[in-house]
Amino acid sequence: MRVCERIDAYTKDWSYSLVHERFWREEADIILVIPLSMIYGDDFVVWHHTACGKFSVWSSYHVTVSLANQSQPSTSLSRSPLRKALWQANVPRKIRVFTWKLAQNALLLGVNSQKRMQDLEIMCPFCQHEEEDVAHAFL
C-alpha cells in the first residue's frame, strides 16, 4: 500500500473512506490530520549533509566522525537524539545500519575483528602497511 493510493485524485486531499477502509479508527483519525503538500510532484531523497543533496559513504563518514567528536564515547550515540534521527532518516536501511556500525566502531575491519578472535590479521589486506581500522579504511 502506498500513501498516494489513499489520496483523492481530484481534491488532492485524504480520501476519508479509503483511509478508514484500511486502518483502525484511531489510526485513521491520526492519518487524516496529517497535512498534505500543496506542491505536487514526485518525491525524492535528499541527503542534507552535502551541498548537492547526494548521499555518499564519504559524507556519511564525515557526519559520523563529527558526531563522534561531539559526543566523546561512541556508546553515547545509543542514547542521543542522533540515534533517533539516524533511524528515521529517509535513506535505505542498509545505509542506516552501515552508519550505525561506523559510529559504534563495529564494522568488521581487522582491528575490530581481532578483538573477537585474537589470531586474526589486523593489517590492511590491500596495502599491507597499516592496521585496518575505520580511519585507514575510509581515508
pLDDT digits (tens, 9 = 90+) for 11-58: 888 999 989 988 899 999 999 999 887 776 776 778 888 888 888 888
What local confidence, expressed as pLDDT, does residue 14 receive? 92
Measured distance CA(132)–CA(51) in Å, rounded: 30
The model scores a pTM over 0.85: no
Cell of residue 49, nine digits? 549533509
In the chain, pLDDT over 70 holds for what percent of residues? 81
Taking residues 114-135, report their average pLDDT.
71
Mean pLDDT over all residues of the chain?
78
Distances (CA, A) of 43 to 29, 37, 50, 102: 24, 11, 19, 28
What local confidence, expressed as pLDDT, does residue 116 receive? 63
- The answer to whether 21 and 3 are in contact (CB under 8 A) is no
